[in-house]
Structure formats: structure tokens, C-alpha cells
Structure 1
Amino acid sequence: MAEAHQAVAFQFTVTPDGIDLQLCHEALRQIYLSGLHSWKKRFIRFKNGVMTGVYPGSPAGFMVVVVSYMSYNKYKQLDPSLGLIAKIISHTLIRYMSTDSQRIVGGVLVGTGLWVTIIMIMRNVLKSLLSWHGWMHARHGSVSWSTRLWMLLVKVFSGRKPMLYSFQNSLPRLPVPSVKDTCRRYLESVRALMDDEQYERMKGLTKDFEKNLGPKLQWYLKLKSWWASNYVSDWWEEYIYLRGRGPIMVNSNYYAMDFLYVFPTSIQAARAGNAIHAIMLYRRKLDRAQIKPIYLLANKVPLCSAQWERMFNTTRIPGLETDILQHMNESKHIAVFHKGRFFKVWMFYDGRLLLPREIEQQMERILADKSEPLPGEENLAALTAGDRTPWARARETYFSRGKNKQSLDAIEKAAFFVTLDDTEQRFEPDNPVKSLDSYAKSLLHGKCYDRWFDKSFNLIVFKNGTMGLNAEHSWADAPIIGHLWEHVLSMDPVKLGYTEDGHCCGEPHPNLPGPQRLQWDIPAECQDTIQSSLTLARTLADDVDCHIFPFDDFGKGLIKKCRTSPDAFIQIALQLAHYRDKGKFCLTYEASMTRLFREGRTETVRSCTMETCAFVPATHLTPPVTVEERLKLLKMAAEKHQNMYRLAMTGQGIDRHLFCLYVVSKYLGEDSPFLKEVLSEPWRLSTSQTPLQQVELFDLVRHPEYVSSGGGFGPVADDGYGVSYIIVGENLINFHISSKHSSPETDSHRFGANIKQAMLDILDLFQLEKKAM
């Protein structure tokens, strides 16, 4: 192969005088360019670290403060330091300098101290301002004078040109709710789900906990909240994700879809070329902290950016009792899977990132490779799809040395993982239901051996050019990977584009070294473990019932005309649909974020409220309740939902507090019947909205089809539903539903039909047609 010769850096020739070592010029050039790239990256990281560390200050501000101080001292002949400069001079080596030098050095030192003091004051004032959440309670479309003044102060103290991590030191800590408030809200959240006898029993357990064990556990939790930057996130990551011993495929990992109606190219290698290049450009922006912080409220309220840190070069490493997250500061390659073979593909050449056409060239080489998988190689990734403990044992026994370790390192230390899938997935207008369901299942679990589920994320490119993502959940939540995906989809067909015949723009590289085929020596015993994991994973995957449907009867635009929150509208529709589907209510999980606080992740909105449970049956009573009465009940339910969402976002949720109290009780060896029962209650309806965060990247008015169709996840309970939805523009809402075939109580397609009818029935209550007449 021609590229094999390009990869040879050293040539050895044996002569009578010994060994003649000739270092080729190309190798020296590549070493120089690679080193230059690394040093540039280190310098940028150092500079950004300094800029973030002193934010909202800046080097220019430092010069202004120091020069102003020294000028004032010189021309006014006064000492604003109140003798501090004299003390510094008398106790340091500065006293041996000339008088002018003493003044300059002393002025710089005191000016620096003054500058640091100003920064700390600004930072703490901003932290205090961001601790106020009164703006969330304002009626939509109206802003009070107090909120306007608060917004002005936030803007003044936020500094100029913030980078991604600039606000991290200014964000407030997540507050710990009182035990009394949490217990009260818990009882309120389950009242509609229990009969009188069950409720009285739970009320007794709650009161006993609130009076006796609760205060003791709360004291330890308060102590942690003062010491740690976030009292929830590290325990949540460890106990909810990393200590789980079951498969992460379906149970934890989630997926993101491509465009629904747009097909930029049908050439698999070309689509991979543009997508991989766009992802690497995003990583470069991330390394340089050039991604803009995420804001709420008209770009005034910053959200925590900590979760971005482990997006790339990260792998979940299995352990016997708990997994760990391995993150590399630098990775210059990706790992690619195709038809049972693994490849290592370098992303840099000539000291620069490969261009889209060059990446396409590498993908073409992999697709053209006709070599067969080595023994055990084809199904190897099934280890990441099965139980964690067998995978941990196999990794320690068979992949800790030799070529197996080298190849596994190439995968685990890759920037991310790519699968060139040999199946075709796409939305088909002639067969929309089956095609979308198949597409979702492929992204969620594939063949159970063709995704490396431990990687932070997998890019999956199908044979016909459609693509998607599968993401591991422990390192971050869905909005973080969604931000990356929005960047990729906005760049792919528009900014990067394709030639008329569907290839990436540009030309192939004549001397580009080809992909490196990873080598394995997998013994029969390990192959047995692989097969066991694959059998378990296939059983789990075959049981998943996925259903995706675009709801295009109406969207956010019409819901706003009802003067109702779109999210509350949809959540109430889900409750109505579930009641019709199963004839009962259930404990419902809606994910909310707590990134208004430092290192915040998620909180639960218990969206099955008493108000919703009052509205839903009113639609089925005989004789029927009047439209006016049902509308009144609906508005009360929507307002209640909005208030619950606000409480969750502002650190006053129920479930994370109860979870942490439970962890403390386990550390103390205390048994709490109340906490044990609360944390064992199943979430039979688990829901999440996929937010569109970078609206400016898309033209939602003229081209709403150029937006991701959202993503989804597996069911949380064996007899429950998982529902994810994305509001696309003004007129489209995409729903992703999952359940299990093995449950006689669930049917994803039936539930989808109930959701659609519930949405239409709720809209009818507002009688918008009559109001328009």
C-alpha cells in the first residue's frame, strides 16, 4: 500500500561501519508541526485559564487600575495605600532599589492588590445577584421594574466578552432545602396517587422522619454544601450512574437524530467527512473556550458550563464495583468501526486538522477494506452493552497487556467513536411509522456490538448517508450533547456543503497516511464472555418498543395563543394520554435542569399534580363538565406545573434532596423506612424535553426542516413509558416514545395515538376558531 511507505519515519541501513540512521525530512517536518500544534494548544489553554481565573477582570483592566493608581500617587503626592507601600519596601528586597524603582514596583504591587480586590467584589456581587430568582415568577411577556434594574446590574457586573467558563466562579451554590419543606412537597406530590389509607400511612412515615432522623441527616448535608461546590452532583454521578452494574445500553445511553426531511448526501463517507470535521471544529472551539456561555432571560442569566469539560476524549471504564470516567486532555485520533473491524484514524496532518474531503478519503479507505474481522473482534463491543462486572473482569484479564491493551487504548483514548453502519435508516414518507421506529432502535442500541457504549458519544453514519448520535449519560446531560449536535447540523449542509455528485468539497490528499487497523488476540474464554454479554444485550434490545412520530397538527405558535406554557400544555397532554392508556395516574418524572447553580445537573419535576389529576377525569365525566369549568381546571394545572418547574430550577426540588439524605443515611448506617420507600417508587412515566439552544443557527421560519428531529431514551420502568419531545419552530413537535414489548400494560404506538388525541382535545377547549371569528 502506498500510504504505508508514507508512514515509515525511520530507515535503517546496516553498513560495515555499523548502523546508518537516516531520518527522513518528512518525519522531521511532521514532528515539528505536531509539536508546534501542541505548544499552541498549551499556550491557548494557559491564556484562557488566566482570563477565566480573573473574570470579570481583564488584563486591560489591570493596566488601567495600576496606571491610574501610580499616576494619582505621582501627581497628587499622596499615598492612597495608607503606608502599605512603605511597609512593603521596608520588609522586602525592594529597599535596595533606587527611589524611582521602589515607587514603580510598590505601585505595581499595590495596584495589583487593588485590582484583585475589585475583581473579588464584582464576582461576589454578581454571585449575590444570580442568587435572586424573582424574575422567574414574572408573567410571560411582562417585566417588572425590579427585574429590569436587576438585569441592568447583572449586565454591569458580568464583564465584557465572557468565555465558556468565565462565570463558573460567580455562580451561586445549590441551596439545601429544609427537611420540612421537602417533606411537605413530597406528600403533596403523592396525594393524588394514593388512597386515604395509603396516604395516612405515608404521612405518618414522613412526619416521623421530619421529626427524628431528618434533622440529623440534614446537618451532614448542610456541612457538605458548605464544603463542596455542589452537594448533589458528585453523589448523583457516582451512585445513579457509575455504580450501576446493569447494562448502560438502553438503560442509560440515549440518542439524537438527524434531520427528518432533509438528506444532504447519500454517500456514507462524505456525510461522515463533514460531520467529523464539524465535530472536530467544535472541539477546537471548546479547547479554546470560544463557545459562548449559555444564558437564560434574554442572554442575561448564565448557566453552568462544567459539563462541557468531558465531552471529548472521555470513556467510561468498567470496574468490579463502580466505573470511573477516564478523561484525556488531548487526543489526536478517532476510533472507527465497520463490519466487525476497528480502525484508528488520525485527525491531524501537516500540523492541521484534516479537511472534510480528506476525512472522507479516510472513510473511503475503511469502506474499501475487505479484510475479515479477527477472532472475537466482530462482537467485541458487546462487552460495553452487557453487565458491567463481567466486562470489568474481562478487561482486567484479557486487555491489560500486549496488542489487546494497545488497541483498547486506541479506542478508549480516542476523541470519540464512529460507526460506519452497514444498514440504511431514514424517514420514508411512504412508510413513516416503521421507518422511524427502526431508525430510533438502531440509534439506541444498533446490533448491540457495533457501538462502543462506553465512549462519551458515538457518531453513527448509515450506509445511505443518514446519521445520528448515541451518548453515554454519566459525564453530562442531554442538552450538552444537543449543543454539539446543533453545531454539526448547522454546519453540515449549509456551511460545509457538498459537491453536485454528493462528495465533500475540496480534493483528496495525495500523501495522507491511511487508517490503522487495530490488532487483537482474543482467547476463547474471552470470546465466551463476549457472547454472554451479546446474548443479554440482544434480549434487552429486542424488548424495546420504540415509536417516533412528528406531531404537525399544531405547535408552539398555537399553544402560545392559548396563553399557556408549551411545556405545561404537553405535560398535561401526557397525563391525559396516560390516563386513557392505562386508566390510572402514575408517578411522573420530568427532567429539569439546575445549571443556574455551579456544577448543577438535573432535578425532577413531579408533573402528576393534584391539579392535573382534577382536570383529566373532568374530560370523561358523565354528564360532561362544561368547557368553561374544564378550561379553568386546565389553567390551574398549567400554573401549578409552571410553579413546580420554577422550584426545581431554583434548587427547591424534592428528589435530589431526598436522594442525598438517603446517601447520608447509608454512610451513617441509619435505616429510614421513609427514604427507602420514597426512593423505591417506580417512575412509570419518564419524560424530558429536548431544548433547541442555538436558535440563531437555524432559520426556523423558512426552513424548519433543517433542525434535528430530537432524540430519545429507553423506558425507566419495565411497565412504563419513556417520552422525549422537541419543539421545532412554531408548528411541529416531535415525540419519541419507548416501552417494553414484554409488558402487557404498555404499547408505544397506542400511547402515541393517545398523545396525539390528547393534544387535540386540550386545544379544542380554548375554542380558538370562535375567538378568531
Structure 2
Amino acid sequence: MAEAHQAVAFQFTVTPDGIDLHLCHEALRQIYLSGLHSWKKRFIRFKESILEVPLALWLFCKYITEEGQRIAGGVLVGTGLWIAVTFVMRNALKFLLSWHGWMFTRHGSVSLKTKIWLILVKLFSGPKPMLYSFQSSLPRLPVPSVKDTVRRYLESARPLMDDDQYKRMEALAKDFEKNLGPRLQWYLKLKSWWASNYVSDWWEEYIYLRGRGPIMVNSNYYAMDFLYVNPTTRQAARAGNSIHAMMMYRRKLDRAQIKPLFLLENRVPLCSAQWERMFNTSRVPGVFTGKSRGSSNTKLFTRPATKVPLLVFWVPLSCFWLTFPSVSQLMALNTIPMCSSQYERMFNTSRIPGVETDVLQHVNESKHIAVFHNGRFFKVWMFYDGRLLMPREIEQQMERILNDTSEPQPGEELLAALTAGDRVPWAKARSQFFSQGKNKQSLDAVEKAAFFVTLDGSEQRYEEDNPVQWFDKSLNLIVFKNGTMGLNAEHSWADAPIVGHLWEHVLSSDPVRLGYNEDGHCKGNPHPNMPGPQRLQWQIPEECQTVINSSLKVATTLADDVDIHIFPFKEFGKGLIKKCKTSPDGFIQIALQLAHFRDKGKFCLTYEASMTRLFREGRTETVRSCTVQTCNFVRAMMSENASTEEKLKLLKVAAEKHQDLYRLAMTGNGIDRHLFCLYLVSKYLGEDSAFLKEVLSEPWRLSTSQTPLQQVELFDLKRHPEYVTSGGGFGPVADDGYGVSYIILGEDLINFHISSKHSSPETDSHRFGGNIKQAMLDILDLFELDNKSKK
């Protein structure tokens, strides 16, 4: 994952003016700025949702009769009462959602306390929540104690160190816990009280936006098309349906008509803030310029909230209990929400390069997209006569671009390579060559577009690192000549499940709801009078072309070094794993550890992405999947003396430990985000910590993530098994390590995406794929399911 890659190469310096004793002035200043940003977002949301109605009524009362004023006064009183009730309900729900004891109960045994809690959460959630309904009710991410974090870190480090190394690290950790740690913790506590989330703003800035290396491979991630089918071979038609589906999704997003996200396993809401800047956004040097209204849990998928009649408060609890006789029924009603803040920047967003740090540029509205084909850039309006273009009309515009025979202007063909190379040359070139005239106008058209589209001239299934993509855009849709397509996403604004939610909407809308004619065209008719796409104009001097060519060399070298292996694992899926009474994710993670040990003959620090979206503005946390328990199981599998019973016992212990770590990460008790923020505070205070420095420099040689299938109701895989997606993936984190992404599809299929670097003599993606497959089969054989079924 990109965050793992950046965390390894993390560098940070503080050079504030007017430094006072111990640099505490700068630390407090950063905490103040974080809180100020959070409160601005809250005020904007509050103003938009509440203040405008009473203000309009007050203005109305000035110009109406006395009787009308009495009526309006009654409305104002009712509005005030509604605001008061809303305030009470939101705070009551916030109090309820702060309890996470439900997550640690065993499957099949739910306590009376948990049942009552589920009832109250459903009661205070209201009848028909919208996307951002739960934002103010989500609790803040808690700050773990230094003692607990240090203890969990040492536990995670034990299997990776010999006795001498561990004793040394234990001494550093204990010294930190006793001396510097409490002082740093005080500042984090202060920030957690003042800001909405004590991690997310620093995580976005220092892990993503301050990275000076290429974001291609190192940060951006990709999503792929259907695995088996291609709805049409017409490139323009496929683009027409897909672009229309994305614009329809944006319309629902703007109107907050997308259902709030719920944790499916236990049905709890998540924050939606990151959605808002998915489209119409770019990353630009300077300060954040977007107006804000406010990975990832690999075990989540989204379902529409069920419509439940709102029970009035005076209904006896016993009646409610009769209405919902079982916890499973409660959970089926989507009870537990997740944060939706990441949706805010889904569209109209770009990452703008800076010399020291990039910024995210988000515009509230964008009525066009940017399209690249055959070395030329085009601006395509998505609205005509006050309405959104239909799929056939978008196809018509794409056909005009494909039929355009004009030649690229000097420097235009490879211009996008600037976004694929190092950030500093791109920032300097942008400032020097794209700050005025035609270049500025054309660059604005790209950076302020809803999203970016590449009409690729090849017929490849998917090309992960195409240098003609505009990597700074929040979303890049790539449509190939034969009609297949893929998606490339910039990582700083949101995590993969947010983009995955959009991509599921696009794939489900394309062949089913929108469809194609028998000749492969989009349904409908072309428009006879619609103006064509606008060709963007550039004046790129030779000096700038030199910078472009230099960035292209960097990007090409990086892309050519990536070793990608994608394979569907068809032997079994989660259906058979569940028969083993094991978590599918835990099963796969343990198999990855076994495969890695067979591949390299050693264990390594392993990164598995989890989510913290049970909290306001939560993003991700790390599950350190290489545990003492997992290593014990792997050693038993490698031993000829261990019995099957012993291996199964060790597997169960390892799986339970993995699940426990996942629960801790989801409930704000992870290790790595806390240590990251403690390190930041230490740098602001000018304090050096040998413990923190070593922890943050440890390489993640195995970085993993599950791609969640969130909207299962959109895909009927039993009736239409051909409509399974290939999933998505990311580049390798360490030069001598692996990146592994996997998606569990239906009951019988798991797709794996494996990445590494050709330049490393230690890695081989195809070899590792073979080891993963064999590890999965070997672990399943332990359960002897065939023999049990025969008995």
C-alpha cells in the first residue's frame, strides 16, 4: 500500500520561525491548525443543514401579515424543537457508538447488553438516513495509552528478531514509555480533544502529499474490468456507458442520495467525508483550496439501508423487542454506521504538485471531463441544454475524438509524463511553464475536470502504468481499443473502498441497467446539433519538453521494473473456508505467511490494511499479520514431525489472534498510527527518539489488502457468474518485497494481484503466486473435508 511505502521512507523536518523552548510553540501551532480545519468543516455542514431554513423564515416574517407571522412563529418554534430533538438524538447516538464491546463477542453468542445496544442504535439512527446523516454522531478516534501501544509493538516485533535484537528494542521501548512518551502523549491528547481526528490530517499530509517520489506505482492504485466478459468491443460505446454511470453516481453523491455505509458483519455506520472530492479535483502546490462540507476496512461491504418505520420514544422497549426478536434480524437492518467523509473529494479533485508538499485542489462543481487520445487532450462538456448527456451522446463525443486525425502539438503527446515522475520537477515546470496563457487555461481544464479519461490505442486487458494517464487526478478511467477498461486512482484523498464503491456502481450499471444495442452501440440516438469536444491548446517550449522527457525516463524505468502477476484462485472460496469455521480473511493471511516463508525462507514485517471508519474522519490502521502464533503454525507446517491435530490447533490459535488484532485496529487500538503521530510530535518538539526512529524505518516487505465487494445486491453471481470483477491492486512497497491484493468473489472464487520488482533477486511474482496457491490448498487439506463429508 502507498501508506506503507511512504511510512518506510518517512522524513520530516521542522523549521519554524520564532522557536521557543523545546519547540512547543510549533507543536501547539500544528494542533491548533488541525482543530481549526476540523471546526471549519463542522461549521459548513451545520450551516448548510440547519441555519439556512431559520434564516429564510426570519426574512420571510418581515414582509408578511400578523396572522402569517403567527404561523411562521409556530414554524420557527417547531423548527427549534426539531433542532433540539435532533441534537439530543445525535449525541445519544454518539454515546452509543462509542461502545465497541459488541465487536469482541463470539459469533453465535450475543449478550443481553449487546442486544439492547443494537436496539438503541437502531432507534436513535432514524428511519431513512442519508449519506452524511451519521457524521456528527460518530465518535472521535481514541488515543491509545503509550503503555498499551509499546506492549503491542514489542509483541509484534518478537517473531522478527533474535534474542539480542529483541532485548535491545525492548530497552529502547521501555525507556521511551517511561521518559519521552508521556510528554508526546499529552500533545496528542490535546489534539484529539480539539480536532475531529488526531491522525487523518497528518496522515494525508505527511504520508501522501509530502512524498516527493513518483505517485505512479508508489501511491496510486488500480481497479480492473470484468474477469470473463466484455459487454461491447466498441471503445466509444464502452466509454459512453461508463462515463454516464460515473456522472450519475456523482449526481447522487452531490445530493447525498447514496445510502450511508454500514458495517455488514455487525451493521454499524462509517464516515463519508472522503467521498466529496473524488471528482473535479486536482492536487496543487500551496494551501488547500477546496471547500469542504465537513482502505479501509478490507472486511466491509455496503448495502442500502433498509427502510424501518421510526419508533416514537414512548413506545415501550418491550414492544420494540417484539418487533425485532433476534439480533440477526437487527443486524440485517444495517445498524452500525461508518464514516462517509472520504466521499467528499471523489470528483472534481486533483493533486497539485509543490516543491516541498503537494495540495489537493477540489472544486465544488465541474461540468466537463478531460479526455486523452493519440497524444491529444480534449475538453468534453457533460451537459447540454441544461441536462446530463445520455450514454449514446457521450459515445458520439468519444467517436468524434477517435475520428480526429489532427497531430499532437509539440510536447503534448508526452505531457502527462510530468505527473508520473518525481514531484519536484513537475512542481517547478508547472510554475514556470503553465502559469499563464494557453497552457494555464488548458491545464485548468484538466485539473478542474470531473475526472480524466484515456482512450487507449492498444487492445491490452489492462496496462497498470500507462505514461499517458494523468496521475494527479482523483480518478482516471482508461478504455482500451477492444472495449475493456480499468481505473487508476490517486491515493491521498481517499482509500480503496471508496473508489471500489463507485467502480461497483459503474460495472453493475454498464451491461445491465444501461446495456447496448445488438450492434454494440449505447442505447439511444446521437444528438444532431450537439457541439463537439474542445481541443486543448498548448505552447510547450523545448526547455519544458526536456523536463517532460526526463520525467518520462523516470516513469518508464519504474514501470518496467514492476512485476505484476494476476491470477484467479478457483479451487475454492469463502464457502469452503467457512465450513472450516475460520475467517476467510484470517485464512488467506495465514496462507500468505506460509507462502512467504516458502518463498524466502524467513518471516517479515507484514502490513494488512484495516479501517478506522467507525470513527469520524477515520481512514486506515495497520494489522501486523506476522504474529508469534502465525509463525508457530508456519513452522509446524514446515516440520515433518508435527501431526495434523497439532497443526489444526495452532491454526485456530493463529486465526483467533489475527481476528483479535483486526478488532483492535478497527476500534482505535492499533499500533502504527499512534506511533506515527507520536513521532510527528517529537519532531515538532525537536526531540530525537531512537525507538520511534527505528520503528518508522522498518520495511514492510509484505504489504497486503483485501478489496471488499461492498454492494453484493448489485451482482447476482449465482445467476450471472460471468459478471465477476477482476478486482484491483497496487505496486510493491519495498524494493525487495511483495504487494498482494485479493478480492473474495461469491462462494468459490478469490482473485489475487501480486506485485514485486524485477530488479530484486529475492522476488518473483509468479513464483510467489504459485506458493500462495499451494499454501491455500495445504491448509485446506488439514481439515480433511472430503473424509468428513463421506462419514
Q: TM-score range by the shorter chain?
A: 0.7 to 0.9
Q: Deviations over 1:707-761 (max 9, x none)?
A: 3210000000000000000000000000000000000000000000000000000
Match of 1:246 among 213, 216, 221: 213
Superposed displacement of residue 136, structure 1: 1.1
CA distance in 2, matches of 1:355, 1:266: 19
SS at match of 1:724: strand
Check conservation: 1:315, 1:327, Cα contact below 8 A.
yes
SS of equivalent residue, structure 2 residue 718: coil
Closer/same/farther in 2, CA of residues 106 and 326 from structure 1, 3 Å limit: closer
Residues 1:369 and 2:404 are matched in the alignment: yes
Partner of 1:744: 761
The match for 1:255 is 222
RMSD, matched Cα: 2.0
d(CA) in 2 for partners of 1:383, 1:105: 58
Deviation at 1:651, TM superposition (A): 0.2
**1:137 shift after superposition:** 1.5
1:452 maps onto 2:487 in alignment:
no
Q: Is the 2:221–2:491 Cα contact (8 Å) retained in structure 1?
A: yes
Match of 1:429 in 2: none
Per-residue CA deviations over 1:579-608 (Å, capped at 9, x if unaligned) read: 000000000000000000000000000000
What is the distance in 2 between the residues matched to 1:277 and 1:102? 47
Equivalent residue for 2:102? 135
Partner of 2:670: 653
Q: Tell me what 1:31 maps to.
A: none
Of 594, 604, 629, the match for 1:586: 604
Q: In the TM superposition, what is the alpha-carbon distance from 1:406 to its structure 2 partner?
A: 0.4
Change (3 A) 1:135 1:51: farther
Superposed counterparts of 1:369-768, under 5 Å: 369-426=404-461, 439=462, 442=463, 444-446=464-466, 448=467, 450-622=468-640, 624-768=641-785
Tell me if the contact between 2:100 and 2:667 (Cα under 8 Å) persists in the aligned partners: yes
Give the aligned residue type for 1:765. L
Match of 1:82 in 2: none
Contact 2:757–2:763 under 8 Å retained in 1: yes
Q: Displacement of 1:112 after TM fit?
A: 4.3
TM-score, length basis structure 1: 0.85
Contact preservation (8 Å) 1:483, 1:694: yes
The 10-residue stretch of structure 1 (457-466 or 141-150) with the greater mean CA deviation from structure 2: 141-150
Kindly indicate whether the alpha-carbon contact (under 8 Å) linking 1:52 and 1:165 is maintained by their aligned counterparts in 2.
Answer: no
Cα 1:103–1:217 change in 2 (3 A) is same
Selected match of 2:373 from 316, 329, 338: 338
Which structure has the larger Rg over C-alpha atoms?
Answer: 1
Question: Percent sequence identity over matched residues?
Answer: 79
Mapping 1:164-203, distance limit 5 Å: 164-203=131-170
Answering whether residue 93 of structure 2 is matched by residue 126 of structure 1, we say yes
The answer for the alignment partner of 2:335 in structure 1 is: 300
Deviation of 1:50 after TM superposition, in Å, equals 7.5
Cα drift, residue 640 of structure 1: 0.1
Please tell me the residue identity of whatever aligns with 1:682.
P
**Aligned partner letter, 1:732:** L
Report if the CA contact (8 A) 1:52-1:166 is conserved.
no
Distance 1:673 1:105, change over 3 A: same
The secondary structure found in structure 2 opposite 1:302 is coil
Query: Given that residues 253 and 472 in structure 1 are in contact (C-alpha distance below 8 angstroms), is that contact kept between their aligned partners in structure 2?
Result: yes
Distance 1:111 1:251 in 2: 54
Aligned to 2:28: none
2:450 is matched by which residue type in structure 1? A
Distance 2:539 2:73 in 1: 67
Mapped to 2, the partners of 1:411 and 1:663 lie a distance apart of: 34
Structure 2: runs of 5 or more not aligned: 1-43, 55-60, 267-330
Cα distance in 2 for partners of 1:484, 1:101 equals 47
Alignment deviations for residues 71-116 of structure 1 (CA, whole Å, 9 cap, x no partner):
xxxxxxxxxxxxxxxxxxxxxx99xx98x99987776655544433
Q: Which amino acid aligns with 1:339?
A: N
Unaligned runs of 5+ in 1: 1-47, 63-92, 427-438
AA at the equivalent of 2:223: A
Quick check: 133-142 or 554-563, which moved more?
133-142
- In the aligned structure 1, how far is the partner of 2:390 from the partner of 2:72? 50
Letter in 2 for 1:645: Y
- CA drift of 1:702 comes to 1.9
> In the alignment, is the contact (CA less than 8 A) between 1:283 and 1:312 conserved in 2?
yes
Look up the SS of the partner of 1:688 in the other structure. Answer: strand
In structure 1, the residue corresponding to 2:516 is in which secondary structure?
A: coil
Question: How big is the shift at 1:658?
Answer: 0.2
Match of 1:459, SS state, is: strand
Contact 1:54 1:119 in 2 (8 A): no
- SS class of match (2:638): coil
Matched residue type, 1:587: L
Residue 149 (structure 1) shift: 1.5
Is residue 2:176 matched to residue 1:209? Answer: yes
**Matched residue type, 1:635:** K
Q: Deviations over 1:318-371 (max 9, x none)?
A: 001000000000000000000100000000001111010100000000000111
Q: Which residue of 2 aligns with 1:310?
A: 345
**Matches of 2:126 and 2:629 in 1, distance apart?**
43
Query: Against the structure 1 CA distance between its residues 509 and 108, is the aligned structure 2 distance closer, same or farther, given a 3 Å change threshold?
Result: closer
* 2:627 partner letter: T
- Partner SS, residue 742 of structure 2: strand
**Any conservation in 2 of the 1:173–1:230 contact (CA below 8 Å)?**
yes
Report deviation, 1:700.
2.2
Amino acid at match of 2:402: L
Change in 2 beyond 3 A, CA 1:232/1:50: closer
- The partner residue of 2:113 within 146, 156, 164 is 146
1:149 aligned partner, one-letter code: I
Over 3 Å counting, the alpha-carbon distance change for 1:521 and 1:647 in structure 2 is: same
Helix, strand or coil for the counterpart of 1:139? Answer: coil
Paired amino acid for 2:514: L
With over 3 angstroms needed to count, the CA separation of the structure-2 counterparts of 1:335 and 1:102, relative to structure 1, is closer
| Cα displacement (A) at 1:408 | 0.4
One-letter amino acid of the structure 2 residue matched with residue 637 of structure 1 = A
The 3-state SS of whatever aligns with 1:309 is coil
Q: Aligned partners of 2:626 and 2:237: how far apart in 1?
A: 46
Partner of 2:200: 233
Matches of 1:141 and 1:378 in 2, distance apart? 60
Secondary structure class of the residue paired with 1:345: strand
Cα 1:278–1:605 change in 2 (3 A) is same
Q: Which has the higher contact order (CA 8 A, sep 6+)?
A: 2
Cα pair 2:228 2:724 within 8 Å, conserved: no
Distance 2:47 2:750 in 1: 41
Asked if the contact 1:52–1:163 (Cα under 8 Å) also holds between the matched residues in 2, the reply is no
